[in-house]
């Protein structure tokens, strides 16, 4: 896909700021990450958590319509009991939702949204949208070109988890939010859905990131070690922020549907995802957590 319009002009409000874009993966503690970054002095993630801007531009593997979601989210705020212009004006979530709707027809609204989050001490802003892991090489190239006129420091983060465990967690989450999918019951059918296969394509995602961005602008972390002080120090150094201890014990956006992984599904997913285990061990070596499945 080519850009629909030229990239937006430089947004001076973001000059010299680190702009972190976390592209997932889904079910790899990105909600916890959002909460952690929100608590770092000088770091301002979008209140939306998932902005869904670039997957609206590259929709082939989107789960739903990102722009329709933005409109529904805005309507949710407008329909709240007691909502008045004054109360809505004071709501960061409403203002962010309004910004996202403006992005449907104005690409510059993306950078304006993050510029408004900056305070005098803000050093980093962040868009944490796991759906970006499915936008493919063209989508990642679009991110690079879209940011080209800006004077901020673009940084990309991709978090990986044991492929089988992550895939099953996503199936449980999918069935929880859309029971009609019967994702854990009809797993043998659902596991071939292109949108889910794209999110599980570690080899393709990492290869595209490596080819699109300078090595120093991309950080790869692993879910299984994300809650360690070592990983958090790496993350903070990557975005130019002082390290602060994290609350590793609080779960965020935890899937409440706890359907166990059947042995047949485990074996089928292990075979389906075997190339990604091999790729990650070849690419990351000893960084791959020891408890990833063989």
d(CA 107, CA 111): 8
Is pLDDT at 73 greater than 90 in this prediction? yes
Percent of the chain with pLDDT over 90: 92
- Confidence category of residue 79, pLDDT binned at 50, 70, 90: very high
Question: CATH assignment of 12-287?
Answer: 3.40.50.300
Rounded to an integer, the average pLDDT of 164-191 is: 95
Q: Which residues of 193-212 are buried (b: 16+ CB within 10 A; e: fewer)?
A: beebbbbbbbbbbbebbeeb
Cβ atoms within 10 A of the Cβ of 276, count? Answer: 20
Domain boundaries, the chain: 12-287
Is pLDDT at 253 greater than 70 in this prediction? no
Instruction: Note the pTM of the prediction, 2 decimals.
Output: 0.95
Report the chain's mean pLDDT, rounded to a whole number. 95
In tens, the pLDDT along 85-116 reads 999 999 999 999 999 999 999 999 999 999 99
């Amino acid at each position: 896909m080519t850009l629909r319009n030229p990239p937006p002009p430089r947004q001076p409000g973001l000059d010299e700021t680190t702009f972190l874009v976390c592209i997932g993966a889904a079910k790899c503690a990105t909600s916890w990450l959002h909460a952690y970054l929100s608590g770092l002095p000088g770091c301002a993630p979008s209140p939306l958590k998932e902005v869904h801007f670039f997957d609206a531009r590259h929709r082939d593997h989107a789960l739903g319509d990102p722009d329709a979601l933005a409109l529904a989210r805005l309507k949710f705020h407008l329909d709240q009991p007691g909502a008045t212009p004054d109360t809505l004006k004071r709501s960061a979530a409403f203002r962010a939702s309004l910004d996202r709707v403006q992005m449907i027809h104005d690409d510059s609204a993306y950078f304006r949204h993050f510029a408004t989050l900056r305070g005098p001490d803000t050093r980093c802003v962040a868009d944490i949208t796991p759906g970006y892991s499915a936008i493919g090489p063209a989508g990642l190239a679009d991110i690079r070109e879209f940011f080209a006129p800006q004077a901020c420091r673009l940084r990309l983060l991709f978090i990986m988890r044991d492929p089988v465990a992550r895939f099953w967690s996503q199936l449980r989450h999918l069935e929880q939010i859309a029971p009609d999918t019967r994702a854990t019951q009809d797993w043998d059918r659902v596991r071939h859905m292109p949108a889910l296969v794209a999110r599980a394509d570690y080899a393709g995602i990492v290869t595209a990131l490596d080819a699109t961005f300078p090595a120093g602008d991309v950080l790869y972390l692993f879910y299984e070690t994300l809650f360690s002080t070592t990983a958090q120090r790496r993350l903070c150094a990557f975005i130019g922020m002082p390290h602060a201890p994290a609350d590793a014990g609080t779960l965020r956006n935890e899937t409440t549907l706890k359907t166990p992984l059947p042995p047949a599904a485990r074996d089928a997913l292990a075979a389906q995802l075997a190339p990604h285990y091999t790729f990650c061990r070849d690419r990351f070596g000893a960084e791959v957590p020891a408890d990833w499945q063989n």
